[in-house]
């Protein structure tokens, strides 16, 4: 069972990264909060890992901070929430905002995340309220570095891909991205995704 992985960042996208360690490239699914914190390609990184084993597959999920992994593990204890949906939740709302929404029983805020219906949001708020309050009392913060700006077309397409992978329809996602571009003084991938998510919420 892989619990932690360190190596060179071979490839990164808003959904997955490949970390090269010992001559092997490990493909790891990550939330947007982790993507924002990643360094440049070929730089060394360390990720907290959750290994999900099924009969037909072995999947790795990676997190920049222990808090993200702890929240992920907390989410998958809820009936109806698997690793992919838990990752989607962490991508749709920041760790601190997630803790606050759950601790306050803000089911509506949780329902704004694609893939989270009313019943699932209610279960999250009900079952995890006390644990989320504990996280708020002992949270691990981090300051992600800025993602370097590339060509505007490439940034826009990467942001669109990230939002579609979160479950937003292409047309709605593109409209949010266009609105976000006009409201930002300086456009980079991280800022564009964050601003688009605010508009969509």
Q: How confident is the model at residue 198 (pLDDT cuts 50, 70, 90)?
A: confident
Pairing of strands 24-29, 4-12: unpaired
Please choose, from the candidates 94, 32, 141, the residue with its C-alpha nearest in 3D space to the C-alpha of residue 102: 94
Per-residue pLDDT tens over the stretch 4-34? 999 999 999 989 999 999 999 999 999 998 9
d(CA 171, CA 161): 12
Q: Where does the pLDDT of residue 60 fall: very low under 50, low under 70, confident under 90, or very high at 90 and above?
A: very high
Quick count: other Cβ atoms within 10 Å of Cβ 21? 13
127 CB-contact burial (10 Å; exposed 0-12 / middle 13-18 / buried 19+): middle
- What does the pLDDT read at residue 55? 81
173-195 average pLDDT score: 77
Question: What is the pLDDT, as a whole number, of residue 187?
Answer: 64
- What does pLDDT average to over the chain? 84
Containing 122, the helix (H) or strand (E) segment is helix 118-137
pLDDT range class, residue 154, cuts 50, 70, 90:
confident
CA distance 189 to 8: 22
Q: What percent of the chain has pLDDT over 90?
A: 35
The confidence band for 190, taking pLDDT boundaries of 50, 70 and 90, is: confident
pTM of the model: 0.68
Q: Which of 46-55, 89-98, 131-140, 176-185 has the highest mean pLDDT?
A: 46-55
Provide CB contacts within 8 A for 162, sequence distance 6+.
14, 15, 32, 91, 193
Between 196 and 136, the more confident residue is 196
Specify the pLDDT at position 185: 62
Mean pLDDT of 87-92: 90
Element (H, E) at 49: strand 44-53
100 phi and psi angles, rounded to 5 deg: -65, -40
| Burial degree of 80 (CB within 10 A; 0-12, 13-18, 19+) | exposed
Residue 173 is classified by DSSP as H
Q: Does 136 score more than 90 pLDDT?
A: no
Count other Cβ atoms within 10 Å, centred on residue 156. Answer: 18
Q: What b/e string do you get for 166-199 counting C-beta neighbours within 10 Å, with b at 16 or more?
A: bebeeeebbebbeebbeeeeebbbbbbbbbbbee
Report percent pLDDT > 70 for the chain.
90
């Amino acid at each position: 069972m892989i619990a932690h992985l360190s190596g060179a960042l071979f490839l990164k996208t808003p959904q997955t990264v490949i970390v090269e360690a010992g001559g092997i490239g490990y493909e790891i699914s990550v939330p947007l909060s982790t993507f924002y914190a990643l360094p440049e390609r070929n730089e060394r990184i360390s990720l907290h890992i959750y290994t999900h084993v099924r009969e037909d597959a072995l999947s790795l999920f990676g997190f920049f901070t222990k808090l993200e992994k702890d929240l992920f593990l907390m989410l998958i204890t809820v009936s109806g929430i698997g690793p992919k949906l838990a990752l989607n939740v962490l991508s749709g709302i920041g760790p601190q905002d997630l803790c606050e929404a759950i601790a306050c029983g803000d089911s509506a805020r949780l329902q704004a995340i694609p893939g989270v219906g009313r019943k699932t949001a209610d279960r999250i708020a009900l079952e995890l309220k006390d644990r989320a309050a504990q996280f708020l009392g002992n949270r691990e913060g981090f300051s992600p570095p800025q993602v370097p700006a590339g060509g505007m077309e490439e940034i826009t397409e990467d942001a669109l891909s990230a939002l579609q992978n979160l479950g937003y329809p292409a047309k709605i996602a593109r409209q949010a991205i266009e609105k976000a571009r006009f409201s930002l003084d300086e456009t980079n991938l991280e800022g564009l995704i964050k601003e688009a998510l605010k508009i969509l919420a």
